[in-house]
Every structure is written in structure tokens, then in C-alpha cells.
């Protein structure tokens, strides 16, 4: 049978790009088959090189909350482009985006833009260590904070999918000060902080975990982290790269009412262009160069095109009712998936927080990395392929999230649930 254009493109890519992809999860290794190559996006859909149209729930792993090629975004970036691409000098747009972020999340009294979520978390960790004069960092198994050496320990997302709890090439000396706790396990983190707290610079957490699949915080978990950090004199870092402007205008810190000392952001604040940020209490951020001694820099940080894209995205999201509609879409999808799975006797746990959700193929409750890892990933792979064949593009891994956006109309969600019903029926018959 003749190769599809995506298959030919993948072969060509493999000849020059490591693994044929620029990020591991895109290679479909966790779900089988080969990646489809995307030609373009349009609203809630992406179209591949062979002309197949998919309702897109990857949304570039979260940033495309408005859908693809939103008119306001296209206009803003095109206008900015005509004035140049980058200056390596301050522009007012950076101030406007930062002000919008502070308005939405008042804990971020000062921030610094960088170019990715990874840069944001590595910078936040360095800053926390400098501010406290301590070296220990606590993270949670199943949470992923980018490919930061010190944090690539029992990471979620790609590393968890590939079953490699920590990557080769990370010296033991670099992770020697990284402690790993279990998500949603308050007694566990209490015991860890009782033993190590005085040496802990920061506790970093995904306030809604999205890299072991979606696992919301159980009541009391986030407040416990706030209390334990206050008692130990450690900083609480909310990694809101995924949850920022995703689970609410005020992020997870607004949704759950817990104020972190530092926050990392990415994805939505760039609207699909490379933007990350870290920020928080003024006295902490004043330690960052050039005002303070903590060094961090970046050639393209605050890039004018990326700022224009992010600003246009946040402007649309700030409209009254936007998050109510996102929440309603997320809830509708989650309830429809639960009903379909139940109708066909497929054991699944569907979790939803705002407009991020996921379906675990698991018998029992999923509340941390251990219970998430017990999911039937082979079954997820078959479900993924069934949905892809029916024109629905999900994350090619059980340990990722499904993102619904403002461009998904009722008929897109209805069509998605029809495809899910047929795919789950197929699973139950297998």
C-alpha cells in the first residue's frame, strides 16, 4: 500500500531530526503507529498532510486555548511582525502582558519572562535556593516540570510514559538534593518536611497534576503544602505552566485559594508562541539580576511577536463568561465520556478540572503516580487509535491531558462523544 504523506514526511524527518520529532511524546511511541504530520490548524481542528481533519484536544499541549488561527491572534501577531521580530531591548508589550498576569494572579507581584516552561522552573528553583540559602528541593512523583536536570526525577509526562524514572546524563550529584514525595499524600509530605524541612528551599508542585494524566488535588493537599512551607521557612512554588489561565482566569491558585510564593507559567500566556515566566513575591524577585545577584538571562525573552500573541490570547480570555463556557465544555465532555464508558462496561476514571481532563483506563481511583501507572496503557493506545480514525486527535499518551478550548462548539463536543462511544464499544468487544 502506498505510503501516506505523513508516513513519507516522518521518514524524511527521521533522516535529520532525533526520533523524527522535536519532543518525544509527539512520536506516538506510547500509543503505537506513526505520528500524523499537521499541515494547518483551523479553529478547533487540525488538518494533516493527507487532508484528514481532526477535532484537536492536544491544543499544542495546552497553549491553543482559543483554537487555531484565532482572528484576534493572527491580526495581533501580523501587526507586530510588520514592526520587526526582536530587538533584545525592552518593549511596552512585555509590561502589558506582565500587568495582565499580575491582575489575574496577584501573588505574582513581579515576574520575568523566559522562553519555555522548563526555563521558568529551572530559574524559579535557582532563585528559591538563593533566597533561602538552602539546597533541598521537594517535588512529587508523577509531576513534570520540564527537562530540568534537578527535577527530572520520577518525572511524569514523557519520562513516566517511557518508564524511565530519571534520565541518563543527569549526574547523581545534581539530583542529590531533590526529594520526591507522593501527590495527594499529606502524611507523607508531613513526615518528609518534618525530617528535611529546615533544609528545603522549595516545594514545587503542579497544583492540578497534568503529566500523569489529570489528577486534581484532594481537599487539604494544597493548604497542607502552604502550611508546611510556612512552618519550615521553605518557598511554595506552583508550577502553573499547564494550569495557568487553563483552570481559571486566576489559575489553580485562584481556583483553590492557596497563595504560592513563586509561580511558573507558560503555554497559554504565549498563545502558542514560545513564552514562559516565573514570578511571585516582590522581595524574592528583587534578588534576580540586574537588581539582585541571581543570574538569569535570555536572548529572546519577552519577544515582541510572542508577547503580541500572548496578549491577544489573554485579552480574549478576559471577556466575561469565557471561563464559565470552558468549564461547561470540560464538564460536558467528562460526563459524556463517563456515560459512554459505563454504557460499554469499560473500566475508566475520568478526571476534569476546568478545561483540562483525561480518561484513565483504570479500575480503581487514580490519585497519584502509583494509581495512575496502574492504568491499562495498551487499552488507552487502542482507544487513541479508534478516536484518531474517527477524526478526534487526543494526546498520544495515557499520561497527558485533553484540552478543550473556546473554539470547540457544541457540535464538536457532540461529534467527539459519538466517536468516543464507538471507540469504547470497539474496546469492550475486543
Mapping DSSP to helix (H, G, I), strand (E, B) and coil, where does residue 137 land? strand
Catalytic residue flag (residue 239): yes
Binding residue count for ligand KE4, defined by CB under 6 A: 21
- Which window, 238-246, 285-293, 373-381, 414-422, contacts ligand KE4 (CB under 6 A)? 238-246
Q: Which three cell numbers stand for residue 203?
A: 516545594
Q: Does 271 bind ligand KE4 (CB under 6 A)?
A: no
Distance of closest approach, residue 126 Cβ to ligand KE4, in angstroms: 15
Q: What is the DSSP letter of 359?
A: E
> Which residue out of 48, 56, 185, 239 is catalytically annotated?
239
- Cis upstream peptide for 290 (omega within 30°): yes
Longest dimension (CA), the chain: 65
Q: Pick one of 23, 42, 85, 342: the residue that binds ligand KE4 (CB under 6 A).
A: 23
Q: In degrees to the nearest 10, what's the CA dihedral of 135, 139, 141, 147?
A: -80
Minimal distance in Å, beta carbon 209 to ligand KE4?
Answer: 8
Closest CA relative to residue 165, chosen from 18, 332, 373, 304: 373
Decide: is 118 part of the binding site for ligand KE4 (CB under 6 A): yes
Tell which phi-psi region holds residue 20, choosing left (phi > 0), alpha (psi between -120 and 50) or beta.
Answer: left
Q: Which of 56, 139, 256, 267 is catalytic?
A: 267
Single out the segment in contact with ligand KE4 by CB under 6 A; choices: 3-11, 111-119, 172-180, 418-426.
111-119
Sheet with 392-393, edge to edge strand ranges: 38-42, 45-48, 53-56, 392-393
Which CB atom, from 350 or from 395, has the smaller least distance to ligand KE4? 395
Contacts of ligand KE4 in 306-325 (CB under 6 A): none
Q: Which residue has the cell 524514572?
A: 165
Q: Is the dihedral of CA 72, 75, 79, 80 positive or negative?
A: positive
User: Of the candidates 116, 154, 184, 375, which one interacts with ligand KE4 according to CB under 6 A?
Assistant: 116
- The residue among 143 and 417 lying less far from ligand KE4, judged by its C-beta, is 143
Minimum CB separation of residue 19 from ligand KE4 in Å reads 12
Binds ligand KE4 by CB under 6 A, chosen from 132, 175, 211, 253: 211
Q: Residue 251 burial (CB < 10 Å; 0-12/13-18/19+)? A: buried
Q: Which of 112, 136, 145, 344 binds ligand KE4 (CB under 6 A)?
A: 145
Residue 364 Cβ, how far from ligand KE4 at the closest point, in Å?
24
241 binds ligand KE4 (CB under 6 A): yes
CA atoms of 49 and 30, how far apart (whole Å): 22
Backbone φ and ψ for 420, nearest 5 degrees, come out as: -65, -40
Q: Which residue is nearest to ligand KE4 (CB)?
A: 117
Work out whether 25 is an interface residue with ligand KE4 (CB under 6 A): yes
From the list 256, 244, 205, 253, the residue with the least C-alpha distance to 228 is: 205
Q: CB of 91: closest distance to ligand KE4 in angstroms?
A: 22
Annotated catalytic, 144?
Answer: yes
Q: According to the binding rule CB under 6 A, does residue 151 interact with ligand KE4? A: no
- φ, ψ for residue 333, nearest 5 deg: -65, -50
What is the radius of gyration, based on Cα positions, of the chain? 21
Residue 121 interacts with ligand KE4 (CB under 6 A): yes or no: yes
CA 146 to chain centre: 10
Residues at the interface with ligand KE4 (CB under 6 A): 23, 25, 61, 116-118, 121, 144-146, 157-158, 206, 210-211, 239, 241-242, 266, 276, 400
Active site residues: 144, 239, 267
Amino acid at each position: 500500500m502506498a505510503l501516506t504523506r505523513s508516513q513519507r514526511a516522518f521518514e524524511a524527518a527521521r533522516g535529520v531530526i532525533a526520533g523524527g520529532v522535536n519532543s518525544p511524546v509527539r512520536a506516538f511511541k506510547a500509543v503505537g503507529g506513526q505520528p500524523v504530520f499537521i499541515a494547518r490548524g483551523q479553529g478547533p481542528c487540525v488538518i494533516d498532510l493527507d487532508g484528514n481533519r481532526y477535532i484537536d484536544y492536544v491544543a499544542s499541549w495546552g497553549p491553543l486555548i482559543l483554537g487555531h488561527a484565532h482572528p484576534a491572534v493572527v491580526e495581533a501577531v501580523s501587526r507586530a511582525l510588520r514592526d520587526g521580530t526582536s530587538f533584545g531591548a525592552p518593549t511596552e508589550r512585555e509590561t502589558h502582558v506582565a500587568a495582565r498576569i499580575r491582575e489575574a494572579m496577584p501573588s505574582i507581584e513581579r515576574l520575568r519572562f523566559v522562553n519555555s516552561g522548563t526555563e521558568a522552573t529551572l530559574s524559579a528553583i535557582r532563585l528559591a535556593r538563593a533566597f533561602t540559602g538552602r539546597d533541598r528541593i521537594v517535588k512529587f512523583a508523577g509531576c513534570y516540570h520540564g527537562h530540568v536536570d534537578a527535577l527530572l526525577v520520577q518525572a511524569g509526562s514523557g519520562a513516566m510514559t517511557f518508564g524511565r524514572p530519571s534520565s541518563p546524563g543527569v549526574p547523581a550529584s545534581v539530583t542529590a538534593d531533590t526529594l520526591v514525595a507522593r501527590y495527594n499524600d499529606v502524611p507523607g509530605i508531613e513526615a518528609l518536611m518534618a525530617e528535611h524541612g529546615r533544609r528545603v528551599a522549595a516545594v514545587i508542585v503542579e497544583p492540578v497534576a497534568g503529566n500523569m494524566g489529570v489528577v486534581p488535588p484532594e481537599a487539604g493537599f494544597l493548604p497542607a503544602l502552604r502550611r508546611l512551607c510556612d512552618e519550615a521557612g521553605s518557598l511554595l512554588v506552583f508550577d502553573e505552566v499547564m494550569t495557568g489561565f487553563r483552570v481559571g482566569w486566576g489559575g489553580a491558585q485562584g481556583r483553590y485559594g492557596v497563595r504560592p510564593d513563586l509561580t511558573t507559567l507558560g503555554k497559554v500566556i504565549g498563545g502558542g508562541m514560545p513564552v514562559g515566566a516565573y514570578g511571585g513575591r516582590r522581595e524574592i524577585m528583587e534578588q534576580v539580576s540586574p537588581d539582585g545577584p541571581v543570574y538569569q538571562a535570555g536572548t529572546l525573552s519577552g519577544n515582541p511577536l510572542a508577547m503580541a500573541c500572548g496578549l491577544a490570547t489573554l485579552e480574549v480570555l478576559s471577556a466575561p463568561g469565557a471561563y464559565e463556557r470552558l468549564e461547561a465544555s470540560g464538564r460536558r465532555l467528562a460526563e459524556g465520556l463517563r456515560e459512554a464508558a459505563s454504557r460499554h462496561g469499560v473500566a475508566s476514571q475520568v478526571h476534569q478540572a476546568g478545561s483540562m481532563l483525561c480518561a484513565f483506563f483504570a479500575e480503581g481511583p487514580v490519585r497519584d503516580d502509583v494509581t495512575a501507572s496502574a492504568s491499562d496503557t495498551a487499552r488507552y493506545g487502542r482507544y487513541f487509535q479508534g478516536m484518531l480514525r474517527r477524526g478526534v486527535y487526543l494526546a498520544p499518551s495515557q499520561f497527558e491531558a485533553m484540552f478543550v478550548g473556546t473554539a470547540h462548539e457544541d457540535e464538536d463536543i457532540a461529534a467527539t462523544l459519538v466517536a468516543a462511544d464507538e471507540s469504547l464499544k470497539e474496546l469492550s468487544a475486543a
